Structures are given as structure tokens and as C-alpha cells.
Amino acid sequence: MAEPLVTPDGRYLVVRGRLWRRTNPDLPEERRQELVDELMAARRAKRDAADDGSRDAARARVDAAKHGLGERGPVWWDDGAPDLTRHLARTTEYADWFAGQDEP
């Protein structure tokens, strides 16, 4: 499987033309791995949920892990740039860069 495109500033992955915020690169590796492990466990719990309550609890765990990783919630950069998550790359400041890429 090909690696997804990463914007030149390292803030976003590009998947099917959309920007998705990356994990905060300043997280210590041990903490990042703990959060990734929790995210994967929460996703499995969501998949395997037997009822709405269990599914809602698993979704909350996914959300908390993604916040911890910096993929949701306040942005992890400090230059005032907005969060462009879910925007089409071609309609953002990355448009010229994206036009020259071959998306995997």
C-alpha cells in the first residue's frame, strides 16, 4: 500500500483529495504509542459493540484518543493557521502544491 501524501509543512495527510490532520509530531514516542494503542482498541470496541450504549462509549474513547494525538481539537501548531481538516486540498493554500502531485 502506498503512503499517503503529506503536505509540505507536515500538518496534513491527503486522502482522496481531502486534508486530514496528522498526529502532533511533538508528542513523546512512548505517549504517541499509548494513544495509538488506545485508538485501535477503541475502534475494535466500536466495531464489536453489542448495543448503542457500548457503541457510544467506544466512540467517546476514539474521540479522546484522537484529541490526545492532536488529530482533533485545538491545532498543535502555533502560527495561527486555521485547521483545514476535511477541506479539499485543491481549494486550500495547498492547491498549487497538490496540483503537481500524483496522489497514491
Per the structure block, which three cell numbers stand in for 32?
504517541
- For the chain, give me the number of helices (H) and strands (E)? 3, 3
The Cα 68–Cα 74 span in angstroms is: 10
The Cα 55–Cα 77 span in angstroms is: 32
Q: List Cβ neighbours of 70 (8 Å cut-off, separation of 6 or more).
A: 21, 22, 23, 24, 27, 76
Q: What is the mean pLDDT of each run of 10 residues along the chain (104 residues)?
A: 88 96 97 98 96 96 98 96 97 95 74
Nearest to 39 by CA among 12, 8, 71, 17: 71
Question: What percent of the chain is helix, strand and coil (3-state, nearest 5)?
Answer: 45, 10, 45
Q: Give the model's pLDDT for residue 3.
A: 84
Distances (CA, A) of 88 to 12, 17, 39, 77, 91: 11, 6, 25, 20, 6
Domain boundaries, the chain: 1-22+82-104, 26-70
Q: Give the model's pLDDT for residue 102.
A: 78
